[in-house]
Structure 1
Amino acid sequence: MLINANSPLNTVIGVVLRGLAVLSLVGVVVMWFLAVRRVKTGRAEPIAVPGQAAPMFSRGYWLVVVAEAVLLFGGIALLRSWGRPEQTNVAWIAFVVGVHFIVLAPVWKQSGIAVPGVVLTLLGVIGLVLAATSAVAWVPFVSGVLSGVSLLAGCLTFSWRGLASLTPRDQVAEA
Structure 2
Amino acid sequence: MPDVRVGIVVASTRAAAGEAEDGTGPVIADWARQHGWAVDGPHVVADGQPVERLLRDLAASGTALVVTTGGTGMSPDDETPERTRAVIDREAPGIAERLRAAGLHQTPMAALSRGIAGIAERTLIVNLPGSRGGVRDGLAVLDELAAHALAQLGHLADDQPHPPREGTSA
The TM tier, using the shorter chain, reads under 0.3
Name the structure with the higher strand share: 2
Name the structure with the higher helix share: 1
* TM-score for the superposition, normalised by structure 2: 0.28
- Pair member with larger Rg: 1
* TM-score for the superposition, normalised by structure 1: 0.27
Higher RCO structure, 1 or 2 (CA under 8 Å, sep 6+): 1
